[in-house]
Amino acid sequence: MLQKLSSQALTFALTANDLTFSDTSELVNDKNLGWIGQAQAEKAAQFGLAMQQSGFNLIVLGEPGSGRTSLTLQAMRDFAAKQATPPDLLVLHNFATPEKPIVLYVSAGFGFALRSLIDAYIRNIAKALPSLLADPTSVASPEAALDKVVSETAKKSVEVYVTEQLAKIQQAASEKVVDSHLFDQYLTRVKQDILDNIEVFQAQANNDSDGVLENFLGRHRVNLMVDHRGLTGAPVIYDDDPSFSSLFGGMESVADSGDNAADFMRLRAGHLLKAHGGLLLLQLRDLNADQQSGNQILEKLQRFLRNGHIQIEEVSAGSSQGTTSHFSPSPLKTSVKVVLIATREEYYALQEEADGFARHFPIKVDFVDMLLADSASYHAYAQHIGQQCVELDVPHCSVEAVIALLREMHRQIEDKRRLSTNFAELQKLLLESAAFAIARGAALVDKVDVETTLASRYARHQYAEQQLRDAILDGEVVVRTQGGAVGQINGLTHIDLGDVGFGSPVRISARCHAGNKGVINIDREVRMTGPNHDKGIFILKSWLSASFSTLAPLALEASIVFEQEYYGVEGDSASCAELFAVLSDLSGLPLSQGIAVTGALNQHGEVMPIGGINEKIEGYFRVCREIGLDGTQGVIVPERNLNHLVLDNEVITAIDQGLFHIYTINHVLEGISLLANLPAGSIDDSGYYAGDTVMGRVQRTLKSYSQIYKSNHHLS
């Protein structure tokens, strides 16, 4: 049913009387607000984090700005804080098989202490042993001195000293090493290595070592791969710039690690190893963004998720593939719960392209993009705004400012019944509004500051719209907003430039004559339309044929075109306007040029909702305002878009003053009746429309076309 809307129907109904505070300082407390509007997501996250069995990794779905990363990360930290801290990981030289270094786990935080003890031991023996060997009493005879043969006495002195040094380490490590037997064996082998190579220290005593001692002692060092000093609970790592080496580790090049570094000292742990016993957060987009190694990352990560082992590989320059090397550390058993952040589109694409990988994430945490607007959600948002004011150190907001901010959360998703959960955008709007409040020396952010922010945003982004509007005002783009015309109507387009979107009118025209080609979409003929727009044209054809079935097949050729449109047409939101242009040309009735039309058509003539409704209306309003409002201009929109109308104050003021109008229709015939200022007409039992109606005139014209076509066809 055709309705002319009042200003009250064009925005959401919320007043200061509906809220229980005067400014947001009254709402601040120490209570954690939790996951606003994301109760189901929170429940799923808590369930997934609590699943201790391997394989229950989490996939978190949602749009950027919804809190999907920050809330999930906080939940991970809260959960991890209650868990045991896993051991530190060290790598030691394997004297028996150097290419297979020894992996040693020690109590959390002790890894650094053990490394320091061994570094001190190395410094001590590097200083003490050459001195012991330089003692004249350590030489058995003058001939032995010449051959630098070490006496048994000197060897015994060295053995005693080394034993004492290693005993200190062994005592300090008591009950700190997970596998003490393995470590004891290692220390025994360290002592034997010194005794077997005592000549290295003797060379140092005679000042002819030339770095040999440094190289020798390098294999006694400790490579602290994972260090949990100061960590309480399990580790939580967020790799926001993942690469092959950052995730899986690798081996430093000789140039980076030093020419004297032993192979095992070149090993570096990746975040998967560092997160052992804890959680790792990744963004799917970041994994896919690495063009050089993105596929290899997913493939290796899938292998890890399947078998739970990390194989550290040496990475060759310019390649993400492990190279063949004599040094090949054994795979390390690692237990990590991986949490993957993605949009729904990214996740569904992953399922298509790498279903095996996606199956390792059975726990879905789905963040909603919007939530129902009620008193509870309004209060929660107001509390969140107050908390943000404290955290961001900006003035608190008055109740009117909160209402203005909430209005924008409605506008973001074009819905009076629901609020957007894009809290990142809410934070930006709050910060900008606070800046204006501070600039005017106000103690509170008020409604005027939010409105100033929105106006300044529009001013910063209006250039493209202004150019198009100027072209209309200058007559370069032909759009009429007054009077009437046959076969012409103003449709509404939505132009999305990424960072800004706006609406603008475009003239749609139709010309009809007798023929047999039906409705011809000129834009489609020159390949300037997309599939959704073409679908709308086919629906238009179907409705015309069904509405005049007594004349089927229609002897009609009707051409439709978006005039002065050079960048292509997509979407079916102009199908109602296209139909009105055709009906006008067939009936000979002029259409009001001041009323623009947007809405999609189905085969039964019902008008379907469309997107970008507020920006389309506001864009057309600004054109009419510049040309001159005379009270005849307005917009016809689908009735099903009624709950999506959250218009700016300037449009609402003009409607209150009777200078602009918004009409809703549920069926196309309601729209043509308004535009042509004549009843649309209804079909009778015999399939005909009354002659003094729009459809009756159209039927009469189509009948004449049929006669003309038959006559011409007969003559030919």
Q: Does 701 fall in a domain?
A: yes
116 pLDDT band, cuts 50/70/90, is very high
CB atoms within 10 A of CB 519: 21
147 pLDDT band, cuts 50/70/90, is very low
148 pLDDT band, cuts 50/70/90, is low
Q: Write phi, then psi, for 417 (nearest 5 degrees).
A: -95, -15
pLDDT at 325 over 80: no
pLDDT at 322 over 90: no
Specify the pLDDT at position 326: 63
Which amino acid is it at 558?
A
More confident residue, 566 or 444: 444
Domain hosting residue 348, numbered range: 43-85+234-366
Q: Does 636 fall in a domain?
A: yes
pLDDT at 447 over 60: yes
Specify the pLDDT at position 142: 42
Q: Does 535 fall in a domain?
A: yes
Closest-CA residue to 95 (of 224, 254, 211, 262): 262
Out of 93-97, 261-265, 318-322, which region has the weakest mean confidence (pLDDT)? Answer: 318-322
Q: Please indicate, yes or no, whether residues 93 and 79 belong to a single structural domain of this protein.
A: no
Residue 250, both tokens = 């690798």
583 pLDDT band, cuts 50/70/90, is very high
Mean pLDDT of the chain: 89
Out of 151-160, 168-177, 326-335, which region has the weakest mean confidence (pLDDT)? Answer: 326-335
Specify the pLDDT at position 138: 45
Q: Please indicate, yes or no, whether residues 493 and 548 belong to a single structural domain of this protein.
A: yes
DSSP for residue 553: S
Cα–Cα distance for residue pair 673/664, rounded to 1 Å: 13
End-to-end alpha-carbon separation of the chain, Å?
47
Out of 366, 384, 416, a domain closes at 366
Q: Please indicate, yes or no, whether residues 325 and 379 belong to a single structural domain of this protein.
A: no
State the average pLDDT over residues 321-336. 72
Q: Does 8 fall in a domain?
A: no
pLDDT digits (tens, 9 = 90+) for 342-388: 999 999 999 998 889 999 999 999 999 999 999 999 999 999 999 99
CA 246 to chain CA centroid, Å, is 21
Residue 545, both tokens = 């044929």
Cβ atoms of 282 and 211 closer than 8 Å:
no
Q: Please indicate, yes or no, whether residues 244 and 213 belong to a single structural domain of this protein.
A: no
Q: Please indicate, yes or no, whether residues 597 and 637 belong to a single structural domain of this protein.
A: yes
Residue 414, both tokens = 């074009």
Specify the pLDDT at position 632: 95
pLDDT at 13 over 90: no
Cα–Cα distance for residue pair 589/486, rounded to 1 Å: 6
Q: Please indicate, yes or no, whether residues 550 and 652 belong to a single structural domain of this protein.
A: yes
pLDDT digits (tens, 9 = 90+) for 190-239: 999 999 998 888 766 666 555 788 888 989 999 999 999 999 999 999 99
Helix (H, G, I), strand (E, B) or coil at 375: helix
Closest-CA residue to 586 (of 709, 695, 489): 695
Specify the pLDDT at position 141: 45
Q: Does 465 fall in a domain?
A: no
Q: Please indicate, yes or no, whether residues 595 and 522 belong to a single structural domain of this protein.
A: yes
pLDDT at 269 over 70: yes
State the average pLDDT over residues 32-36. 82
Specify the pLDDT at position 320: 45
Specify the pLDDT at position 146: 39
Specify the pLDDT at position 209: 57
Specify the pLDDT at position 208: 58
pLDDT digits (tens, 9 = 90+) for 632-641: 999 999 999 9
pLDDT digits (tens, 9 = 90+) for 289-317: 865 665 788 999 999 999 999 988 765 43
Specify the pLDDT at position 668: 96
pLDDT digits (tens, 9 = 90+) for 498-538: 888 899 999 999 999 998 888 887 777 777 788 888 888 88
Q: Kindly give, in sequence order, each residue whose CB lies less than 8 Å from that of residue 188, ignoring residues fewer than 6 positions away.
A: none
Q: What whole-number percentage of the chain has pLDDT above 70?
A: 92
Out of 366, 393, 416, a domain closes at 366
Q: Does 660 fall in a domain?
A: yes
Crossing angle (nearest 10°) for helices 613-627 and 649-656:
60
pLDDT at 175 over 80: yes
Closest-CA residue to 88 (of 260, 253, 222): 222
Q: Does 605 fall in a domain?
A: yes
Q: Please indicate, yes or no, whether residues 484 and 603 belong to a single structural domain of this protein.
A: yes
pLDDT at 323 over 70: no
State the average pLDDT over residues 323-345. 84
Cβ atoms of 518 and 558 closer than 8 Å:
yes
Which amino acid is it at 518?
G
More confident residue, 165 or 139: 165
Cα–Cα distance for residue pair 494/506, rounded to 1 Å: 10
Q: Does 394 fall in a domain?
A: yes
Q: Please indicate, yes or no, whether residues 452 and 575 belong to a single structural domain of this protein.
A: no
Q: Please indicate, yes or no, whether residues 591 and 476 belong to a single structural domain of this protein.
A: yes
DSSP for residue 571: S
Cα–Cα distance for residue pair 597/599, rounded to 1 Å: 7
657 pLDDT band, cuts 50/70/90, is very high
Cα–Cα distance for residue pair 610/640, rounded to 1 Å: 9
Q: Write phi, then psi, for 658 (nearest 5 degrees).
A: 75, 20
Helix (H, G, I), strand (E, B) or coil at 42: helix
Cα–Cα distance for residue pair 579/607, rounded to 1 Å: 12
Specify the pLDDT at position 294: 56
Q: Please indicate, yes or no, whether residues 203 and 352 belong to a single structural domain of this protein.
A: no
Q: Is the peptide bond before 590 cis (omega within 30 degrees of 0)?
A: no
Out of 163, 197, 226, a domain closes at 226
Cα–Cα distance for residue pair 9/271, rounded to 1 Å: 54
DSSP for residue 641: G
Total domains, the chain: 4
**∠ CA 585-589-591, rounded to 5°:** 90
β partners of residue 686 = none
Cβ atoms of 311 and 333 closer than 8 Å:
no
Residue 211, both tokens = 């770095």
435 pLDDT band, cuts 50/70/90, is very high
Domain containing residue 641: CATH number? 3.30.230.10
Q: Please indicate, yes or no, whether residues 449 and 517 belong to a single structural domain of this protein.
A: no
